[in-house]
A and B are shown apart, each in its own frame.
Chain A
Amino acid sequence: MPKLNSASDLENLRQEVVSKRDPNKLCVTICSGTGCRAYGSEQVAETFAEELSKNGLKDKVDIRRTGCHGFCERGTLVVIFPEEICYLKVKPDDVPEIVSTTLQEGKVVDRLLYEKSDGEKVVHESEIPFYSNQNRTVFGNNRFIDPKKIDDYLALGGYKAISKALFDLSPEQVMDEVKAANLRGRGGGGFPAGIKWETTRDAPDEPKYVIVNADEGDPGAYMDRSLLEGNPHSVLEGLTIGAYAIGSHQGFIYVRQEYPLAVENLNIAIEQAREHGLLGENILGSGFNFDVTVHRGAGAFVSGESSALMTAIEGKVGEPRPKYIRTATSGIWDKPSDLNNVETWATVPLIINKGADWFTGIGTDRSKGTKIFSLVGKVNNTGLVEVPMGTTIREIIYNIGGGIPGGKKFKAVQTGGPSGGVIPESLIDLPVDYDELARAGSMMGSGGMIVMDEDTCMVDIARYYLNFLAGESCGKCVPCREGIYQMLKILNRICDGEGQDGDIELLEEIGEVVRDFSLCALGATAPNPVLSTISYFRDEYEAHIKEKRCPAGVCKSLISYYIDPDKCQACMICLRNCPVGAISGDKNVIHVIDQDKCTKCGTCFEVCPSRFGAVKKISGEELPEAVPAGTPVKREKGGKNG
């Protein structure tokens, strides 16, 4: 591949790529993101290849392994173009039928379609409510692109923005456009990217560095991963545009070692971009030089913090350093270093192509554009969701997420990962943007959204996050290291039924000090899960401490299982299923749980037939006295053995 040497070279290549493609040709796209891979999308793709050659369709049908489509709940996703027929939960066994029915006969396989709650089937991907209620400007291209092929990105207008920036705009104009768009950082704090760029550009020192933060580590969040895996060129293009505006010639991409597919696809993309003259010396013949190095993380959550990340790139232990000079002025090797997150960089080409006015037309007053959320937890349609800023939590959870499974009641949503907080049901109509979330005591963070239903204990949730943070605190500064540890100890004792009067106040007191005195953002935000659950669910904490009761029935030390002798039909099911043999009884003899042996796993509760409903979960109340061993079953009238 000869290097592209001008803007017209790029356009000619694009024309060539597009002209070779027949928009009416059948194309089977198979989601090959990490989620679908876990469902076995690779086998589905291989089966398609086999079936096509078996049926002599190899030349008539294309196969494309794309990045993540987002509807991860229903993987493996298969979409057949040009008609955009969308099949869900496709297994290799389904492939022969798809090939014969859809590809050969042109008919739809009904059973693999999306079914609305009223039973109506949906054929086209974009008409599925999960997708149709979104606005997928940044993430949408994933489903058309094989991330390992630069041609797919070019066919969709890829690298148009860098060409426009290099040949039609000065670095200042590029910067002004991004500033005018008011693009705020998608990784956490929401700092305006354009202002950060300007700080780095205006810093006197040379050289300047630009960095992609792909150290996404929040539990349940995977949007950066999916973007990097599914559309790596968009990130590279954005980064190169930023480098041009800032005057940087060296970029770094700090990506988690835990994201092997992202690393693989990224490295392929970088190699292809270099071959095409889109990275390296004299990009597109413009005279601008820029190249990138991929730096893989070593598994520390704190390395996503900007100063820790830069310390890690320097080859040292990824620990934050105390500095009151911003990394934008003094970062890697004390040189000006601009760090933005994956999604922020991927948004840049769109702003350059479509203009700041287009971008500011989406979103709220102070939060522009769209945001990708990873919608997980107790919600029907888990997956990646992109919506305009200002979309309400209700719209996201109900219209897109399809509500809470099993008809349970929505309780709260946790946003912003371990640094964020919970938003209770009373705020379900809160428009989601940077400022509204912060006002509600949480934060945007990188966009994790964990939905919780009535069976979730908020003290237990706070404990979960603190436990995560206790393991991820680097231990350098005292408030974060010792404060999180002490808070976790208190939460543990509350959940264990040993909470004391004053524990809530002590948690608040410690939380405030950890927030104010910690060295970096990890510590400063670590108390959020505790403080926000206390502020919205203080009664739950009090129930644990004062009544020794877990209202959601989660904390094992505070719950007991008990078999109601009036309802037990001695069916032996719970008795056989109890993993520790804690249930005694026999045929026609009422079953009794030995509380000393019971590990409170809940198996008996789950297996007891619902028509009996004999096993009860109780919390905070006296356990009724067990019936004497050998008590015969009371049968309903007309029952046998009566």
Chain B
Amino acid sequence: MAEVTLTIDGREVKAEEGTTILEAAQSAGFDIPNLCYHPMLAPYGACRLCMVEIERGKRTRLVSSCVYPVEDGLTVYTESDRVVKGRKMLLEFLWARAPGCKAIRDYGTRYGISGMESIREFGEAYGAAASKTKFEIEPTFCVLCGLCVRYCAEIKKKNAIGFIGRGTEREVMFFPEIAREECPQCEECFSVCPTGLVRLMFDLVKEPQSP
């Protein structure tokens, strides 16, 4: 594989052709926020936290670094004003859905978003910090990163869990017929879930529910 050289935040970085900006940045020690990226899974580009600004000539544009392939001579800004502004807003959107999620809290703290650092547990979220955050807390406890769904489909090839609905109605759902067969001896998706919801959801399908 040919090697390309790109500039990330002013530093020259070498990377193999065919890798993504995120991978190149990570190997060079940059910490670009992300929720839906997983090194074992195909790029998904949904959380948009890893968006970076790239420069080509006079033009700059925002791209998701987990998808965009490295190019020779590419200039990347991982923390430009536009990037940080959007990233903060996305974190606040997500916080309203999954208050207490450690990954979001850590990123929020890093970007100085007030109101996030104080909440440690799901239970505290209700009401407690609603006034401090930008958007009203309306928890679903899921950020829809799709790690569980994609891990099950791509690595385990079981498709025991999937998405239903669209827009804000979209949610993750175990398919009980498959899940009862396949999941008890696996449970590997529990460890990729950033909010911990998938473990709770599995408890609901494990046993047939009484009507």
Contact = CB atoms under 8 A, between A and B. Distances in A.
A470 B169 CA distance: 10
Contacts of A612: none
A552 interface: no
Contact of B167 (A321, A473, A513): A473
B196 interface: no
B46 A516 contact: no
Contacts of A112: none
Nearest to B35: A478
A509 B47 contact: no
Nearest to B97: A482
Contacts of A486: 93, 135
Interface string A356-367: 000000000000
Given A471-B167, A482-B97, A477 B89 contact: no
Interface string B166-183: 111110000000000000
A500 to B, nearest CB: 13
Given A475-B144, A475-B165, A481-B167, A518 B93 contact: no
B165 A517 contact: no
A322 B43 contact: yes
B167 A516 contact: no
A189 to B, nearest CB: 16
B51 interface: yes
Nearest to B169: A475
B45 A477 contact: yes
B43 A513 contact: no
Contacts of A269: none
A568 interface: no
Contact of A324 (B68, B135, B165): B68
Contacts of A474: 166-167, 170
A517 B167 contact: no
A324 B63 contact: yes
B107 to A, nearest CB: 13
A473 B93 CA distance: 16
A472 B167 contact: yes
A474 to B, nearest CB: 5
A510 interface: yes
A518 B85 CA distance: 14
Contacts of B45: 321-322, 477, 519
Nearest to A474: B166
Given A475-B144, A482-B168, A513 B46 contact: no
Contacts of B143: 478
B90 interface: yes
Contacts of A323: 67
Contacts of A479: 48, 86, 89-90, 93
A516 B62 contact: yes
Contacts of A517: 48, 51, 62, 86, 90
Contacts of B47: 477-478
Interface string B46-72: 111101000000000011100111000
Contacts of A510: 89
A509 B89 contact: yes
A217 interface: no
Contacts of A483: 89, 93
A408 interface: no
Given A323-B67, A324-B63, A478-B46, A516 B168 contact: no
Nearest to A489: B136
A516 B86 contact: yes
A476 interface: yes
Given A472-B166, A477-B48, A478-B90, 16 more contacts: A317-B163, A322-B44, A323-B67, A324-B69, A471-B166, A473-B167, A478-B48, A478-B143, A479-B90, A482-B93, A485-B167, A489-B136, A509-B89, A513-B85, A517-B86, A518-B48
Interface of B: 43-49, 51, 62-64, 67-69, 82, 85-86, 89-90, 93-94, 96-97, 135-136, 143-144, 146, 163, 165-170
**3 shortest interchain CB distances as A-B pairs:** A322-B45, A475-B170, A482-B93
6 contacts: A473-B168, A475-B168, A478-B90, A478-B94, A479-B48, A517-B62
